[in-house]
Amino acid sequence: MVMAEEETVVAAAVEKEEPKDVETTEEEQAAEELCLGRCKSHIFYLLYVLKWEDVEIGEPKEGEIRVKNKAIGLNFIDVYFRKGVYKASTMPFTPGMEAAGVVTAVGPGLTGRKVGDVVAYAGNPMGSYTEEQILPAEKVVPVPPSLDPIVAASVILKGMTAHMLVRRCFKVEPGHTVLVHAAAGGVGSLLCQWANALGATVIGTVSTTEKAAQAKEDGCHHVIMYKEEDFVSRVNEITSGKGVDVVYDSVGKDTFQGSLACLKLRGYMVSYGQSSGMPDPLPMTELAAKSLFLTRASLLSYNATRDELLQAAGEVFSNVASGILRVRINHKYPLSQVAQAHEDLEGRKTSGSVVLIPDGVFER
Ligand SMILES: NC(=O)c1ccc[n+]([C@@H]2O[C@H](COP(=O)([O-])OP(=O)(O)OC[C@H]3O[C@@H](n4cnc5c(N)ncnc54)[C@H](OP(=O)(O)O)[C@@H]3O)[C@@H](O)[C@H]2O)c1
């Protein structure tokens, strides 16, 4: 197994209500509570336990389809659920919120979907770390024939998040200046490309020179190495003291206060994640000095209806087809190595999209 024992024991102990149980029955506890993968015949778990179990997928019921996944998108939200930052409704649970695959069965009476259709999905229900899964038909969207399912699985959730941010939370227009944290990440890469295409001046923050080069290619006019430079001062310099129209902040704890400081009068603070941890609570009065707008956006509330889902996915897929969005699939892992993928994502070692490929899981 790929995760270092001491690191994962600490993580598990933090999550447990009764840490002593972890010490006495650690393998069992980890296996029960940190299921990290599922295929037709096995479940496997993060931490130092790699456990395989038989799982019955079953047949789709009314309104459902069964999908054989060709690729599964890895997202930071999977890390939040694994670590208990977000609580799963059941234990054990199978993480994963993004995948593309082929329909292998449809529920009784279902119209509009047939065996052989290539579909993608993003968001609830959780459980895409699997070879095959049952999904509500209304949650999937058709993948255009021209689009490789691996690309679809790499872009559907992250691209619709970028869509939510630049088209709905704060509508980016020519002349705007936007600040994007983690500009070389899965969402960040797409967000920078989209904001640039909409005519904005894009400022991106990244942690390494490799990521800086990628962010430049993805349309950042200015790149700030936020581990080495004070990003607030740099934004101040770049904007000649005016500040930016909007900050898209997915880093959270380490950047939140600085992001507010980067905004111009009546600017928009769009918080949509917390890869570095939850930001400290903010007194409302802190927004008053510049009459700032603040939102904590979630894709689930922006894709609340079928029409919203179809519109967002349609825009993403058409932007991919037209070349406005280049999907960087920088990392592919076999599904069986999902723990390593998590470790790399958490360790800031990845850039662009990370996908898990189910094929070959059982060959080792
Ligand atoms: N609200 C929503 O509906 C929604 C939907 C999708 C994603 N999100 C959020 O969007 C963000 C990006 O998701 P993603 O899947 O595309 O991940 P990602 O951006 O590819 O990976 C996270 C990146 O965050 C940066 N980071 C800064 N401080 C970090 C820390 N202490 N630990 C780990 N990473 C840190 C790293 O980039 P550097 O090395 O360049 O600093 C890292 O590569 C996440 O916060 C996620 O929760 C939100």
pLDDT, one tens digit per residue, over 109-155 is: 999 999 999 999 999 999 998 889 999 999 999 999 999 999 999 99
Nearest-CA residue for ligand 1 atom 28 is: 276
Nearest-CA residue for ligand 1 atom 8 is: 273
Q: Is 53 a member of any domain?
A: no
Percentages helix, strand, coil for the chain (3-state, rounded to 5) are 35, 25, 40
346 lines ligand 1 (CB under 6 A): yes
Cα separation, 356 vs 153, in Å, equals 9
Based on its alpha-carbon atoms, the radius of gyration of the chain, rounded to whole angstroms, reads: 21
Cα separation, 98 vs 316, in Å, equals 14
303 lines ligand 1 (CB under 6 A): no
53 lines ligand 1 (CB under 6 A): no
Find, among 135, 124, 141, 35, the residue nearest to 77 by Cα: 124
What CATH number is attached to the domain comprising 93? 3.90.180.10
Nearest-CA residue for ligand 1 atom 45 is: 273
| 282 in the same domain as 179 | yes
| 346 in the same domain as 291 | no
206 lines ligand 1 (CB under 6 A): yes
| 135 in the same domain as 193 | no
* Ligand 1 pocket mutation pick from 189, 251, 269 by most atoms within 8 angstroms of CB: 251
Q: Is 338 a member of any domain?
A: yes
Q: Is 265 a member of any domain?
A: yes
Q: Is 13 a member of any domain?
A: no
77 lines ligand 1 (CB under 6 A): yes
Q: Is 288 a member of any domain?
A: yes
Nearest-CA residue for ligand 1 atom 30 is: 276
The Å distance, Cα 183 to ligand 1 centre, comes to 9
| 84 in the same domain as 202 | no
Cα separation, 180 vs 251, in Å, equals 10
Q: pLDDT at position 31, please?
A: 40
Q: pLDDT at position 14, please?
A: 19
Q: Is 39 a member of any domain?
A: no
Q: Is 52 a member of any domain?
A: no
Q: pLDDT at position 324, please?
A: 98
Q: pLDDT at position 125, please?
A: 94
Cα separation, 285 vs 287, in Å, equals 5
The residue assigned the tokens 């960087």 is 328
Cα separation, 161 vs 189, in Å, equals 11
| 255 in the same domain as 197 | yes
Find, among 102, 86, 152, 72, the residue nearest to 337 by Cα: 72
- Which of the 8 DSSP states describes residue 305? S
Could you say which of 272, 296, 320 is where a domain stops? 296
Find, among 118, 131, 136, 140, the residue nearest to 68 by Cα: 131
| 355 in the same domain as 258 | no
Q: Is 45 a member of any domain?
A: no
Dig out the tokens for 99 from the structure: 């995948």
Nearest-CA residue for ligand 1 atom 25 is: 182
Element (H, E) at 248: strand 244-249
The list of the chain residues with pLDDT below 70 reads: 1-54, 359-364
| 204 in the same domain as 250 | yes
What CATH number is attached to the domain comprising 269? 3.40.50.720
Find, among 53, 65, 3, the residue nearest to 28 by Cα: 53
250 lines ligand 1 (CB under 6 A): yes
Q: pLDDT at position 208, please?
A: 98
- Which of the 8 DSSP states describes residue 79? H
Beta bridge partners of 43: 38
- Our measurement of the distance from residue 208's CA atom to the centroid of its chain's CA atoms, rounded to an integer in Å, reads 20
| 291 in the same domain as 189 | yes
| 177 in the same domain as 240 | yes
Could you say which of 276, 296, 316 is where a domain stops? 296
Q: Closest ligand 1 atom to the C-alpha of 276? A: 31
Could you say which of 296, 315, 339 is where a domain stops? 296
| 194 in the same domain as 129 | no
| 248 in the same domain as 186 | yes
The Å distance, Cα 172 to ligand 1 centre, comes to 21
Cβ–Cβ under 8 Å, residues 52 and 42: yes
Q: pLDDT at position 364, please?
A: 39
Cβ–Cβ under 8 Å, residues 221 and 202: yes
| 339 in the same domain as 228 | no
Instruction: Give the type of residue at 350.
Output: T
Give the domain range for residue 222.
170-296
The 10s digit of each residue's pLDDT in 60-69 is: 999 999 999 9
The residue assigned the tokens 């994962």 is 8
As for how many domains the chain has, the answer is: 2
